[in-house]
Amino acid sequence: MKSRKKKVSPIGLKDITIVDDVKMRKAISAAALGNAMEWFDFGVYGFVAFVLGKVFFPNADPSVQMIAALATFSVPFLLRPLGGVVFGAIGDRLGRQKVLAATIIIMSLSTFAIGIIPSYESIGIWAPILLLLAKMAQGFSVGGEYTGASIFVAEYAPDRRRGFLGSWLDFGSIAGFVMGAGLVVLIQSVVTEEQFFEWGWRLPFLLALPLGVIGLYLRHAAEETPAFQQHVESLEQGDRDGLASGPKVSFKEIATKHWRSLLTCIGVVIATNVTYYMLLTYMPSYLTHNLQYSESNGVLIIIAIMVGMLFVQPVIGFLSDKFGRRPFILTGSIGLFVLAIPAFHMITSGSTGLIFAGLLMLAILLNFFIGVMASTLPAMFPTHIRYSALASAFNISVLIAGVTPTVAAWLVETTDNLFMPAYYLMTIAVIGFITAVTMKETANKPLRGAAPAASDIEEARELLQEHHDTIEQKIEDIDTQIAELEAKRATLAQQHPRID
C-alpha cells in the first residue's frame, strides 16, 4: 500500500495565532487557582504535620509521629503516575479543559475530606486509613493537575511571553502555600492550643470546598486551548472522529522517539520539586522538631520568605523570555550545590537573622527553577502527545521528589546529623546541572507541533519573518550536507569499477 504524501502549504500570516488577551487571562486565572489549591493543601499539611501525628498516630514516639505524618504526605505520590497516565491520555483525546475541571473537583473534595475525618481516639485504626485514602485521592487528581495547567497556559501564551505568563502558574503555587500556612498561623493565634489540637487544625482543610467551587467555575468558563483546537482541525475527518477512542502513540513509542525530552523533563522536575518540598514542606517541621526553634517564629519566617518569592517569581519568568530557560536552571543548580552547606550553617545557628538569611538563600535558588519550569516542560513534546508524555514523565519524577520530607526526616533521625538535608540538596543539584547542560533551549520558539503564537499583528509579522529565516538557514545547512555527501559518493564511486 502506498502512503499518501501530505501536501504542505507555505506558512503565512494567517497561520500565526493572535492570542486573545481576555481568553488568555481567563486561562491563566483558571490554571493558577487550581495549582494554588494543590499547594494550599501542601502548605496546611506541612504546617500541621506535628498535630496530625498526634491526632492520627497518638501511640507512637514523637519522632515516629512526625515521620508517620510526613509519610502519609509522601505515599500518595505513588498514585500520581497512575493519575498522570489516565488524565494524560484523556487530555490528549478530549482536550485540556475537561481534564482540569475533573481534577479540581477530586482535589477539593479529597482535601475537604481530611478536615472531617474523626481522630484515632474516636474510630481507631480507621482514622489513619481514611487519612491515607483521602491523600491517595489527592495524589491521583494531582497527577493530571500541574501538567495539565502548565500545558493549558503554555498553549495559550504567545511565544515571546511564555516564560512570563507561565511563571504565574507557580506564583499560584506559592500563593496557595502562603495562604495555607498563613491560615494555620491565624487560627493558632485566635484559639488555644487545646482547641487547635481538638478542632482548629480542621478549618483550613474545610476551606478547600468553596475554593474548589470557584476554581471549577473558572475552568468551566475557560475555552479549550488554541493549540489543541488546531490539532483537532488539522486531522482528517476519520482521525478526528476516532480521536476519543484511544491514544495513537504508545508510551513505548514516546520513550523511543522522545527519550531526550523525557530525560530532560525528569531532570528539571526532580531538581525543582526536591528543593520545593525540602524548603516548604520539610523545613517547618525541621525547625520545630529538630532545632527546637519557636514554632510561631519559624512559621512566620517561612511565610515572609514565601511572600518575597511571590515578587521574584514573575521577574524570573520575564527574564527567561529575554535570556532563555537554560541559564536559570544552570545557575540554580550551581548555586544549590555551592550554597547548601553555608545555608544550613545559618539555619542551624539559632540566630533568627541567620535562619532567615539561610532560608532566603535557598528560596531564591528555588525561584530560579520554578520561574521557568511551567514554560520549559510543555515545549518539549508535540501537541498530540504533549499531555500523555509530560504527565508520565512529570509524575515519575515527582514520585522520587515526593519522598523528600520523609527521607530527610529519617536521615536526620538515624544519623543525628542536622546537615543531611544539605547533602541531599547537593546531590540533587548535580542532576539539575547535568540536565541544564544537555537540554535544548525552548525560549521564544513555537511549541512543537503548534503554529507560532503572537500577542498582536505586528509581532506576528516579526515571528513570520523569523520563521522564514530559520527555514532558509535549515535549507542552506541541508544543501551543504548534500554537497558533502555527493563529494563523498564521488570519491567512493571512483574506487569501484562498475559504479559511475
Q: Which pLDDT score is estimated for 259?
A: 86
Burial of 367 (0-12, 13-18, 19+ CB in 10 A): buried
| Residue 210 included in any domain | yes
Q: Is 54 a member of any domain?
A: yes
Strand, coil or helix: what is 445?
coil
Residues 460 and 444 in one domain: no
Backbone angles phi, psi at 225, to 5 degrees: -70, 150
454 beta partners:
18
Whether residue 202 lies inside any domain: the answer is yes
Estimate the crossing angle of helix 49-56 against helix 62-74, to 10 degrees.
100
Q: Cα–Cα distance between 243 and 246 in angstroms, integer?
A: 6
From CA 50, how far away is CA 289, in angstroms rounded? 9
Query: Within this chain, do residues 473 and 384 fall inside the same structural domain, yes or no?
Result: no
What is the reported pLDDT for 2?
A: 46
Q: Does the residue 175 lie in any domain?
A: yes
Residue 271 lies in a domain: yes
Closest among 8, 10, 15 to 452, alpha carbons compared? 15
Give the DSSP H or E segment for 133.
Answer: helix 126-156
Per-residue model confidence (pLDDT) at position 64: 65
| Angstrom distance (rounded) from CA 40 to CA 234 | 39
Q: Which three cell numbers stand for residue 105?
A: 473537583
CA distance 463 to 445: 9
CA 143 to mean position of chain CA atoms? 10
CA angle 337, 338, 344 (to 5 degrees): 90
Distance CA(45)–CA(70), nearest Å, equals 9
Give the three-state DSSP class for 343: helix
On whether both 127 and 59 belong to a single domain, the answer is yes
Q: Quick one: 317 and 412 in the same domain?
A: yes
Rounded to whole angstroms, what are the CA distances from 83 to 222, 250, 261, 438, 493? 23, 17, 21, 29, 57
Angle between helices 162-190 and 352-376 (to 10 degrees): 140
Amino acid identity, residue 188? Q
Q: What is the CATH number of the domain that holds 55?
A: 1.20.1250.20
Set of cell numbers at residue 368: 530560579
% helix, strand, coil for the chain, step of 5: 80, 0, 20
Say whether both 27 and 169 belong to one domain. yes
**470 & 410 share domain:** no
Residues 364 and 488 in one domain: no
Residue 499 in domain: no
Closest CA to 268 of 412, 166, 177: 166
Q: What is the pLDDT of residue 500?
A: 66
The three-point CA angle 457-460-462 to 5° equals: 120
Same domain, 347 and 447: yes
What pLDDT does residue 74 have? 65
Domain membership of residue 490 as a residue range: 456-494
Which stretch of DSSP H or E encloses residue 138? helix 126-156
Specify the pLDDT at position 63.
Answer: 63
Number of domains in the chain: 2
To the nearest 10°, report the CA torsion of 433, 263, 70, 340.
0
Q: Residue 300: which region, alpha, beta or left (left: phi > 0; alpha: psi -120 to 50)?
A: alpha
Task: Indicate if 355 and 460 belong to the same structural domain.
Answer: no
Give the pLDDT score at 473.
85
**Which of 82, 106, 90 is closest to 34 using CA atoms?**
106
2 assigned to some structural domain: no
Look at residue 12 and tell me if it is in a domain. Answer: no
Residues in a beta bridge with 17: 453
Q: One digit per residue, pLDDT tens: the chain, 500 residues?
A: 444 455 556 676 777 778 778 888 888 888 888 778 777 877 787 677 777 777 777 766 666 666 666 666 666 777 877 888 888 888 888 888 888 888 888 888 888 998 898 887 888 888 888 888 888 888 888 888 888 888 888 888 888 899 999 999 889 888 888 888 888 888 888 988 888 888 888 998 898 888 888 888 888 777 777 777 777 776 655 454 445 544 455 667 777 888 888 899 999 999 998 998 888 778 877 888 888 887 667 778 888 888 999 999 999 999 999 999 999 999 999 999 999 999 999 999 988 889 999 999 999 999 999 999 999 999 988 888 888 888 888 878 877 887 888 888 889 989 989 999 999 999 999 999 999 999 989 888 888 877 788 777 887 788 778 777 878 888 988 999 999 998 898 888 888 887 76
Same-domain pairing of 102 and 169: yes
Its pTM stands at 0.79
Do both 405 and 483 map to the same domain? no
Which pLDDT value is given to residue 107?
85
Three cell numbers written together for 97: 479543559
Both 334 and 482 in one domain: the answer is no
